[in-house]
């Protein structure tokens, strides 16, 4: 394993994990739900205006404009990318329809987790490192519970917290900074693990001690350009060096 994939636990006291696409295999479900909603909207708009219908692309459009962001920000940024001025009623309607589609999907099929991520979280906790799950989604608690991994994290910061506390969405680092605050660590001694460009940018802007990009879509160079210190295809590639001092976190 290359040295660049090593995490020095003498410098890192806590690790903050993005949820969708890093802990749980739900990024593809989000992308499919967005496609269903946006395609219906775009098809209806094209029929009224006579414009050519261009469907939502779950690779390009999702990754560039929606991935890692709150539903509201995702709607606004995608509509702007198509030259559509996002009015509040349309934004709220599309966001609500997407939420319903996503919940119906996970309700019917459940939620899978990435085994390599769970293995890493368990090992981090065994070595005395605290862990947090972060998501822009208001459904984060439901997703973690459905995947039966919610007990693995000391802290959760999600879209519910963002709305309650007025935290800006990624690429603003507010969600990650709140997670570090709750963990009792400084950003400099906290690592962020993300698969979205917006999330990696948030980690870099928050001056976190280590930003790990998980490349599940062939965007390694983009993740590096966004600020990732390490980029791996899977978290099984990470090596942990050392152990934290003091009492160990429970080995769950």
Summarised one tens digit per residue, pLDDT across range 23-48 is 999 888 888 899 999 999 999 999 99
Q: What CATH number does domain 28-109 carry, 1.10.150, 1.25.40, 1.10.3470, 2.130.10? A: 1.10.150
Strand, helix or coil for residue 210: strand
For the chain, give every domain's residue range. 3-26+112-241, 28-109
Cα 151–chain centre separation: 18
pLDDT at 86 over 90: yes
Average pLDDT, the chain: 92
Summarised one tens digit per residue, pLDDT across range 186-226 is 999 999 999 999 999 999 999 999 999 999 989 999 999 99
Asked whether the domain spanning 28-109 has the same topology as the one spanning 3-26+112-241, the reply is no
Residues marked as catalytic? 18, 20
Summarised one tens digit per residue, pLDDT across range 117-170 is 999 999 999 999 999 999 999 999 999 999 999 999 999 999 999 999 999 999
**What does the DSSP 8-state code read for residue 24?**
B
Q: According to the CATH classification, is domain 3-26+112-241 in 3.40.50.1000?
A: yes
Can you give the pLDDT at residue 243?
79
Beta-strand ranges (E) seen in 6-129 are: 6-8, 14-18
d(CA 39, CA 36): 6
d(CA 100, CA 181): 32
Percent of the chain predicted with pLDDT > 90: 82
């Amino acid at each position: 394993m290359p040295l660049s994939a090593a995490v020095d636990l003498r410098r890192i006291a806590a690790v903050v994990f993005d949820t969708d696409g890093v802990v749980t295999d739900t990024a593809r479900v989000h992308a499919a739900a967005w496609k269903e909603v946006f395609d219906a909207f775009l098809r209806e708009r094209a029929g009224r205006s006579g414009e050519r219908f261009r469907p939502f692309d779950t690779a390009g459009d999702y990754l560039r404009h929606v991935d890692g962001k709150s539903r509201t920000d995702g709607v606004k940024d995608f509509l702007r990318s198509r030259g559509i001025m996002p009015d509040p009623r349309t934004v709220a309607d599309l966001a609500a329809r997407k939420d319903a589609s996503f919940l119906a999907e996970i309700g019917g099929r459940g939620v899978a987790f990435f085994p390599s991520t769970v293995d890493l979280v368990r090992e981090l906790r065994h070595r005395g490192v605290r862990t947090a799950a972060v998501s822009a989604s208001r459904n984060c608690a439901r997703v973690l519970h459905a995947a039966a991994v919610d007990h693995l994290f000391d802290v959760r910061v999600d879209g519910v917290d963002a709305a309650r506390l007025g935290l800006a969405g990624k690429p603003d680092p507010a969600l990650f900074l709140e997670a570090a605050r709750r963990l009792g660590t400084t950003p400099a001694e906290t690592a962020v693990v993300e698969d979205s460009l917006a999330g990696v940018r948030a980690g870099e802007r928050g001056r976190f001690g280590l930003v790990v990009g998980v490349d599940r879509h062939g965007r390694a160079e983009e993740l590096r350009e966004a600020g990732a210190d390490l980029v791996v295809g899977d978290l099984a590639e990470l090596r942990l060096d050392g152990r934290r001092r003091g009492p160990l976190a429970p080995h769950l």
